[in-house]
Amino acid sequence: MPSSNALSSLSVKITGIVFWGLVIVGLLVSFVILERYEYELEQVYAQSEAQFSEEIQATLNQEPGLDPERLKQRLLGLTKLLKIPAAKLSFEQHEVVVGAIDPRLVPHFQTLHIIGADGKLSNVMVAVYQVDIEPVVDQYRKTFLMSMGALLFLFGYLLKWVLERVLTQPFLQMVDTAQQFSADQQVRFNEKRSDEFGDLARFINQSLDHLLTQQGELKASLQRQHLSEQALLEEKERIKVTLQSIAEGVITTDQSMCVSYLNPIAERLLGIGLSECKGRLITDVVQLVNERDGLPVENPVVRCLHSGHVEKLPSDSVLLRSDGVRVAIEDSAAPMRDDAGAIVGAVMAFQDVGNARELAQKLSFQACHDSLTGLFNRHEFEKRLQSAISDVQDKAVEHALCYLDLDQFKIVNDTCGHGAGDDLLRALSDILQAKIRDGDMLARLGGDEFGVLLLNCNLEDAERIANTLRMTVSEFRFVWQDKIFEIGVSIGLVGVNQYSKDLTDVLSAADVACYSAKDAGRNRIHVYQQGDLELQKRRGEMQWVNRLQKAVDDNAFCLHYQTIEPLQTSAPSGAHIEVLLRMVGSEGVFILPGAFLPSAERYDLIRSVDQWVVQHLFERFGRLMREKYDANPECHDTYGINLSGKSIDNLEFRQFLVDSIERFNIPASTLCFEITETSAITNLAGARHFIEELKALGCEFALDDFGSGMSSFSYLKNLDVDYLKIDGSYVRDINDDPVDRALVNSVNQIGHVMGMKTIAEYAEDDACLSILKAIGVDYAQGYCLSTPQPIDQFFTSSVTS
Amino acid sequence: MALLGFKPEMFCRYFISNCYILEVSRKKGLMMSERDYRLVLGSVILAGLYFTLAELIYAVVLVLLMEGVFNFRLVSLLPYLMQQGRGMADWSGTEVRYEFSAERAWRILFALGLFLSFEFYTTYWAISWFLGFAVFGAGASGVCPMLMLFKWAGFR
């Protein structure tokens, strides 16, 4: 349907042009026709009047003196002929009237000059009565105009209808179709028409199909592009969020190294915002210097843009911020390329590694330094020593190694606690460090062991320096609370020269030299010499290590026992034996513990040996021990088991012992652990704890070889032991040596005073036994009483009895 | 005519549907638009001229003048006047320069023209008839050239 807009445009134009043109032209034509009609009507009137007058004049001229009646007849015929409604003729005394003179008729007068019969000229007045022309014209005009109007309107409508049907309507339909097309693109123009509109519709429809096809393709393309843009936006957002979230600072630059982006971490590390540095050269924004010398470091972005590869910053570089703050960073820069591979910029990623670098430095320091004293540790010392050994093989130089072992350090540690020992070590470290030369190396090698590597130093100078160190330590007085300790140091000195084989050899030689110094009376220097007997002895010990380990693995040990006999009648009647260890040699020969125990002690195998003894004894004889105990609990046997100082100081061994007693159901009161005086004093705190824990189970303890060390009787107060085994070296010569006798007597008295029972070892004859009895020693052990026998015999005989 | 798809009954329906009386009936009530008003006005004027009813012509002149001067519309007394049905073709897109209604201006000018031509009917009878036919034609066709001229001139 035509729209209102179309009505006001195309239809209006057609109507305006066709309809109104027709109406106006028709009316104008009508007006002209009417004017012509009126003119012609007036002409007809005038002609009839003129003809009437002429006829009257001719008649009167031809027939002068005509009879009025005849004249009237003639006038009547004339009015009929000329369609004159009425006429009146007046002449002389006559008046002739023809027709009915109606007042609505309009008279037209005319005077005629007639020559009468008498030859005289007379006037004749002629009046012609005509119908009024105005009403006639008016009526004709109305009729004509209304008819014409109706005709023109009708024709105009017809024309308008035709034009609308053939032109406006199809055109407006096309317009309407075009308007519908915007809402529904499936709408098509009417192609059924066979005229130009049909052709146009077909052309437009084809164009629309083509356009829609192209539009579909374009839409698909736009959709793809939209998706691509969406993906790009998402990717951009993801990258942006990632860059803002990561812990690394990121800076991007263009090809000319001008900064284009900073992430928040980069802003924080640089101390400036993106707005301040955007567009500036990265070398102005990121200033890198060497951490140690402060010299500028080339920015990796510059290098990567030049090389086209990923470039890293040297590991010791720091970022110099504009406010002067230095930030340790790790940095790498990579070029950014376009699709063609051309470099379009660079991205630099860096992170604050201040903490990590500080930690690494700390770890590095800790890896080569002793945490207590701050001196180099054993690892670093051996590394430097190895380097020095390698050095002397190539160059004609000589170095020296001092191996320092503090004397009496254990006493400080055990009597005043580890805090005091630590303070002592720190104080001595400072003192020793001050006494060595620049370039020399002082390190803490163990608990109270120090090493000094004297570089480019011959043996004489080294001995002089070592002596200085010894004297310094000797003169040092360590004060702890109300106690003053005098410390000594034993120093083993060995030259590092072209004869030095390797690190182990040099360290072993220094160690041996140090032990030699200790053995020689402590607080002295022993200079190692090639072919030293002590070294050979130590090496012999080292050979025992393999045999010992093999023996432990192969159970190449056996147990013997020796009885401990009571000397006083008041002693309980149960058997008292000491369990003894023997190694079974290659040909079945028993090897006494004196041969292998020093090696076991020195090379840390003694715990395995002790463990073997306990395990073996309990496994094989645990049941018998329990049965014997259960048979007579009041008068039970006592089994003396030797333990080393290292074992009693070891928590794992202690736990093993407790677990074994429980597991094998051993009556604890039958066990008497023998600890040497030296090991007990060396590990006083450990020994005390061990004794307390085992005594809580019911075990007894004996202090073995008492008197050999003669450290101090005061230690006895700290050790809750049940037996004092007087060292055999005093007992052996008691018959001849009054001093030994006095000593045994003293020890016996002290033991008794402290509630302990005494046992004299090495009682080898009856005279000795008599003296011991006289002194009041409670028990004796020795060859005059019994010799060591395989322990199986003890349990076999017990079962038999 | 046959080529144009002329069908007499269609034309008759078309013509009749444009007749005022039938149109009014079709709309089930007195729904007079400006176009219908012109159709009535033209018919009245032509009737007055044909039957020489001077009073009717003067009455028309008076009504038109009142409408034009006082912006009063006789036809507005009827419901849906000037807003429903067939409207007059507009000269759209012309800037309004005078806040005076084109319909009012047309009424005043038309009334004056009709009055003067009728007063001097003997001489200007053609104008009176022309005005009668013109307003009737405007109502019949929906196109009033004079109104459009006013609108083109900038009347509202």
Judged by CB atoms closer than 8 Å, whether chains meet at A166 and B4 is answered as yes
Residues of A in contact with B152 (CB under 8 A): none
List pLDDT tens digits, range A487-526: 889 999 999 988 888 888 888 888 888 877 877 778 889 8
List pLDDT tens digits, range A169-213: 888 888 888 888 888 888 888 888 888 888 888 998 898 889 888
Q: What percent of chain A has pLDDT over 90?
A: 19
Question: Does B19 reach chain A within 8 Å, measured CB to CB?
Answer: no
Q: How far is A224 from chain B (nearest CA, A)?
A: 43
Q: How far is A10 from chain B (nearest CA, A)?
A: 11
Tell me if A715 sits within 8 A of A750, measured CB to CB. Answer: no
Q: How far is B127 from chain A (nearest CA, A)?
A: 10
HSE-CB at A539 with a 13 A cutoff on CA atoms is 11
DSSP assigned state of A296: B
Domain A370-530: assigned CATH number: 3.30.70.270
Residues of B in contact with A23 (CB under 8 A): 133-134, 137
Judged by CB atoms closer than 8 Å, whether chains meet at B50 and A142 is answered as yes
Q: Sign of torsion, CA A287 A290 A295 A299?
A: negative
Judged by CB atoms closer than 8 Å, whether chains meet at A31 and B126 is answered as yes
Q: Who contacts A373 (Cβ-Cβ below 8 Å, separation ≥6)?
A: A425, A426, A429, A444
pLDDT at A801: 56
Mutate to test the interface with A, among B141, B144, B147, B149 (most CBs of A within 10 A): B141
Q: What percent of chain B has pLDDT over 70?
A: 65
pLDDT at A550: 83
| Interatomic CA distance for residues A289 and A312, integer angstroms | 14
* Helix intervals (H) in A246-290: 264-270, 274-277, 282-285
Q: In the predicted model, what is the mean pLDDT of chain A?
A: 85
Instruction: Report residue A113's pLDDT band, with 50, 70 and 90 as the boundaries.
Output: confident
What is the SS3 assignment for A222?
helix
Q: Among A448, A511, A637, A705, which one carries the catalytic annotation?
A: A448
Tokens 């018959």, residue located: A735
Biggest CA pair distance of chain A: 243
pLDDT at A596: 83
Judged by CB atoms closer than 8 Å, whether chains meet at A7 and B89 is answered as yes
Q: Who contacts A296 (Cβ-Cβ below 8 Å, separation ≥6)?
A: A287, A288, A289, A290
Judged by CB atoms closer than 8 Å, whether chains meet at B133 and A149 is answered as yes
Judged by CB atoms closer than 8 Å, whether chains meet at A149 and B89 is answered as no
Q: In the predicted model, what is the mean pLDDT of chain B?
A: 75
Tokens of A103: 């007042």
List the single residue in B with minimal CA-CA distance to A16.
B143
Can you give the three-state secondary structure of A707-744, one letter per residue? CCCCCCHHHHHHCCCCEEEECHHHHHCCCCCHHHHHHH
List the single residue in A with minimal CA-CA distance to B50.
A142
Instruction: Report residue B92's pLDDT band, with 50, 70 and 90 as the boundaries.
Output: low
Residues of B in contact with A166 (CB under 8 A): 4-5
Domains A4-156 and A544-800 share a fold: no
- The partner residues of A33 in beta bridges, in order of sequence, read none
List pLDDT tens digits, range A551-563: 888 888 999 999 9
Residues of B in contact with A165 (CB under 8 A): 4-5
Mutate to test the interface with B, among A20, A22, A34, A155 (most CBs of B within 10 A): A20
Tokens of A289: 């210097």
| Interatomic CA distance for residues A519 and A515, integer angstroms | 6
Residues of A in contact with B128 (CB under 8 A): none
Active site annotation includes A448: yes
| Interatomic CA distance for residues A553 and A550, integer angstroms | 5
Tokens 């009879």, residue located: A67
User: Residue A28: is its pLDDT beyond 80?
Assistant: yes
Given CATH 3.30.450.20, say whether it is the number of domain A246-359. Answer: yes
Residues of A in contact with B133 (CB under 8 A): 23, 27, 145, 149
The residue-averaged pLDDT of A726-741 equals: 86
Tell me if A375 sits within 8 A of A433, measured CB to CB. Answer: yes
Judged by CB atoms closer than 8 Å, whether chains meet at B145 and A16 is answered as yes
Residues of A in contact with B6 (CB under 8 A): 162
User: Residue A408: is its pLDDT beyond 70?
Assistant: yes
pLDDT at A800: 60
Of B101, B100, B109, B97, nearest to B135 by C-alpha is: B109
Of A564, A486, A484, nearest to A786 by C-alpha is: A564
Instruction: Report residue A530's pLDDT band, with 50, 70 and 90 as the boundaries.
Output: confident
The CA angle B54-B58-B62, to the nearest 5 degrees, is 170
What are the backbone dihedrals phi and psi of residue A113, each rounded to the nearest 5 degrees, phi first? Answer: -100, 115
| Interatomic CA distance for residues A505 and A503, integer angstroms | 5
Mutate to test the interface with A, among B1, B19, B133 (most CBs of A within 10 A): B133
The domain A4-156 is placed in CATH, from the list 3.30.420, 2.40.10, 3.30.1140, 3.20.20, at 3.30.1140
Judged by CB atoms closer than 8 Å, whether chains meet at B145 and A20 is answered as yes
pLDDT at B8: 56
Residue length, chain A? 801
| Interatomic CA distance for residues A727 and A612, integer angstroms | 26
Q: How far is A16 from chain B (nearest CA, A)?
A: 7
| Interatomic CA distance for residues A521 and A719, integer angstroms | 27
Q: How far is B30 from chain A (nearest CA, A)?
A: 22
Question: Does B72 reach chain A within 8 Å, measured CB to CB?
Answer: no
Higher pLDDT, A425 or A157: A425
List pLDDT tens digits, range A437-471: 888 999 998 888 999 999 999 989 999 999 999 99
Biggest CA pair distance of chain B: 52
Residues of A in contact with B18 (CB under 8 A): 157
The residue-averaged pLDDT of A477-487 equals: 84
pLDDT at A81: 86
| Interatomic CA distance for residues B34 and B138, integer angstroms | 10
Instruction: Report residue B84's pLDDT band, with 50, 70 and 90 as the boundaries.
Output: very low
Instruction: Report residue B89's pLDDT band, with 50, 70 and 90 as the boundaries.
Output: low
Whole-structure pTM over 0.90, yes or no? no
List the single residue in B with minimal CA-CA distance to A35.
B126
CA distances from A667 to A550, A621, A639, A642 (A): 32, 12, 11, 18
pLDDT at A673: 93
pLDDT at A6: 41
The residue-averaged pLDDT of A11-31 equals: 80
pLDDT at A16: 75
Q: Sign of torsion, CA A712 A716 A719 A723?
A: positive
**Residues of A450-462 as b/e, b for ≥16 C-beta within 10 angstroms?**
bbbbbbebebeeb
User: Residue B29: is its pLDDT beyond 50?
Assistant: no
Instruction: Report residue A313's pLDDT band, with 50, 70 and 90 as the boundaries.
Output: confident
Judged by CB atoms closer than 8 Å, whether chains meet at A165 and B133 is answered as no
- Topology adopted by domain A544-800: TIM Barrel (3.20.20)
Tokens of A88: 């009146």
List pLDDT tens digits, range A323-350: 888 888 888 899 999 888 899 999 999 8
Question: Does B129 reach chain A within 8 Å, measured CB to CB?
Answer: yes
List the single residue in B with minimal CA-CA distance to A145.
B129
Of A283, A281, A245, nearest to A266 by C-alpha is: A245
Q: How far is B85 from chain A (nearest CA, A)?
A: 11
User: Residue A747: is its pLDDT beyond 70?
Assistant: yes
Q: How far is B75 from chain A (nearest CA, A)?
A: 22
Instruction: Report residue A124's pLDDT band, with 50, 70 and 90 as the boundaries.
Output: confident
| Interatomic CA distance for residues A328 and A291, integer angstroms | 8
B 22-51: CB under 8 A from A: 46, 49-50
Domain definitions of chain A by residue range? 4-156, 246-359, 370-530, 544-800
Minimal Cβ distance to A12: which of B89, B136, B137: B89
Q: What percent of chain A has pLDDT over 70?
A: 95
Q: Sign of torsion, CA A528 A530 A535 A537?
A: negative
pLDDT at A1: 39
Judged by CB atoms closer than 8 Å, whether chains meet at B137 and A20 is answered as yes
| Interatomic CA distance for residues A286 and A252, integer angstroms | 12
Can you give the three-state secondary structure of chain B, one letter per residue? CCCCCCCHHHHHHHHHHCCHHHHHHHCCCCCCCHHHHHHHHHHHHHHHHHCCCHHHHHHHHHHHHHHHHHCCCHHHHCCCCCCCCCCCCCCCCCCCCECCCHHHHHHHHHHHHHHHHHHCHHHHHHHHHHHHHHHHHHHHHCCCHHHHHHHHHCEC
CB-defined contacts A:B, below 8 A: 67
| Cα dihedral B73, B79, B82, B85 in deg (nearest 10) | -150
HSE-CB at A174 with a 13 A cutoff on CA atoms is 20
In this predicted structure, which of A63-72, A102-111, A597-606, B25-34 has the lowest mean pLDDT? B25-34
pLDDT at A714: 66
pLDDT at A195: 83
List the single residue in B with minimal CA-CA distance to A142.
B50
User: Residue B26: is its pLDDT beyond 50?
Assistant: no
List pLDDT tens digits, range A243-297: 888 888 899 999 899 999 888 888 888 888 888 888 999 988 888 998 888 888 8
HSE-CB at B18 with a 13 A cutoff on CA atoms is 22
List pLDDT tens digits, range A32-91: 888 888 889 889 888 888 888 888 888 878 877 777 788 888 888 888 888 888 888 887
Question: Does B5 reach chain A within 8 Å, measured CB to CB?
Answer: yes
CA distances from A37 to A23, A43, A134, A715 (A): 20, 10, 12, 171
